[in-house]
Structure 1
Amino acid sequence: MNVLDQCQQARLRADGNAVGSGGHTAALEEEPYLLTHADRMLLGALREDARVSYAGLAAAADMTASTAARRLAELRARGALFFDVDVDPALMGVTVSALLWMQISPAHLDTVATALAGHEELALVAATTGPTNLVAHALCRDAEALHTYLTRRLTREAITHIETTPVLRTYKAAATLRKP
């Protein structure tokens, strides 16, 4: 269920260059980067209000708006800053949410997890410990789509057991925590 086409996804990146995982270019990935005091001020202002203007960022970091824009572009290029947007799944036609608790043979865990990470129905795939060792969060347009995913699309060759837990109501979702 890709909502954005490739062109739209590319426009969200820092520039038109190929971008690796995490939103940063591979060329800058190797160099360690230490944040400056001004960088920390910019990031602090963004933490308080991610919609703040360049003028607002400039005021918070005691610099010009053009300098703030350049610093943000540099932080994005280095992978020190990326934008993560939360969208209500219902706006994209998702009405069914379920957690999939799976037992995978340890020898196949990385292979299965990597394959599942490519499934558009899954918003999260994570290794765990306990009675199961892999959890995934499925988002589907309706119960029939979830059933089809579980019975026809989900690769079961290395899954020894799966338990599906429908999410009835979400009381809190992941978000950036703010300091008081």
Structure 2
Amino acid sequence: MAENEVLSEVEQRIVIALQADGRATWRKIAKVIGEPERTVARYGSALLDEGKIKVAAIAHRKAAVIASLKCAPGTIPVASEAISQRADTSFTYMVTGESDVVSELHYDGGLEDILTLQLPATPGLSSIQIYPILKYFKTIRAWRAGELSEAQEAALRPSAGSELTSWNPTEAMSPSDRLIVDVLRTNGRASIDSISRQVRMSETSVSRRLDSLLRGEHISIRTLVDPALMGYRVEALLWIQVSPASVDALGNMLKTLPQVRYVAAVAGDAQLLVDVTVESQRDLYEFIAATNWGEMVQLRTSMVLGARKRGGRMVEELPHN
């Protein structure tokens, strides 16, 4: 991506529509945003083919933690690469401030081996702090890189697979289900016909199982885009200390703000972790200064210097940042 590249207005509207429903047809998107279907298909396909956006499934696990790493001098890229290569991490950022690398890690079983054996062996690591995630208020599935009207949002809302902030899969995935998920991890827009051929199941069975996976809270389909391509070149993590009685109210307020991509309640010396994207550092200052933080005790800001992984996908599959 060119240093100052920003998507065109039409491209941005297509991206925002895909954020609402990553599997929406070009025809449906064209109708909702008021553009010719041929135009939407041409631009949308180019965005996908060039890797500027990625639509992919992410499998839900039972629990998650935030790993905050301090690294030995000169080893930050190595540590970031190592933790990003783990299949259980969803995002990895190189940041300023007290930490050098921040990553979200999901797991199903216990944490003992991960915390005592695996993460301490990360190359370049000098110390690590773990923040268990207690509750999600907003995930990147709900973030829109621009505005959709209520009518547009409603028209694009999928019948299954909208944003979840908690999940409890109703049944275990079968081997066939896992094959379908593997295809969707690579291409979340894969057609039923394409999935059917890759997993060697009938289209009827694939369609039924995909609907079950989405309704059963096993997976989400997410559209991943570098915020800088949408004009948001400044990203920051806000570590917020707040009185226990105010955590829920503040989390629910922050999730409604368009600058906020992600909000999670965590256990540790901060109670909330917030991912914010804005156009400039001045906008970040104004966001921090103008927000009603309620009973907040302290706010610590870490600027995101670069992302190695977003939404469970290595950023090498996306442009820049």
TM range (shorter): 0.7 to 0.9
Whether 1:160 and 2:297 are equivalent positions in the alignment is yes
Given that 1:102 and 1:134 are in contact with CA atoms closer than 8 Å, whether structure 2 keeps it comes out as yes
Deviation at 1:120, TM superposition (A): 1.6
Q: Which residue in the other structure is 1:53 paired with?
A: 191
Q: Residues 142, 173 of structure 1: CA spacing in aligned structure 2 closer, same or farther, 3 A cutoff? A: same
Whether 1:140 and 2:278 are equivalent positions in the alignment is yes
Q: Residues 13, 53 of structure 1: CA spacing in aligned structure 2 closer, same or farther, 3 A cutoff? A: same
- State how far apart, in whole Å, the 2-side matches of 1:155 and 1:65 are: 51
3-state SS of the aligned residue for 2:253? helix
Q: Residues 133, 59 of structure 1: CA spacing in aligned structure 2 closer, same or farther, 3 A cutoff? A: same
Whether 1:95 and 2:237 are equivalent positions in the alignment is no
3-state SS of the aligned residue for 1:147? helix
Q: What RMSD, in angstroms, separates the aligned Cα atoms of the two structures? A: 3.1
- State how far apart, in whole Å, the 2-side matches of 1:34 and 1:54 are: 22
Give the % identical residues.
25
Q: Which residue in the other structure is 1:26 paired with?
A: none
Deviation at 1:78, TM superposition (A): 3.4
Q: TM-score, normalised by structure 1?
A: 0.74
Residues 33-83 of structure 1: CA deviation (Å, up to 9, x unaligned): 343333222122223443433233112332223432343234323333321
Please point out which of 157, 181, 192 is paired with 1:13. Answer: 157
Deviation at 1:30, TM superposition (A): 9.0
Does 1 or 2 have the higher relative contact order (CA < 8 Å, sep 6+)? 2
Q: Which residue in the other structure is 1:120 paired with?
A: 258
Whether 1:65 and 2:65 are equivalent positions in the alignment is no
| Structure with the higher fraction of residues in strand conformation | 2
- Give the unaligned 5+ runs of structure 1: 24-28
3-state SS of the aligned residue for 2:261? strand
- State how far apart, in whole Å, the 2-side matches of 1:52 and 1:83 are: 11
Deviation at 1:2, TM superposition (A): 3.6
Q: Which residue in the other structure is 1:174 paired with?
A: 310
Amino acid at match of 1:5: S
Q: TM-score, normalised by structure 2?
A: 0.45
Please point out which of 22, 35, 58 is paired with 2:164. Answer: 22
- Give the unaligned 5+ runs of structure 2: 1-144, 315-321
Given that 1:98 and 1:139 are in contact with CA atoms closer than 8 Å, whether structure 2 keeps it comes out as yes
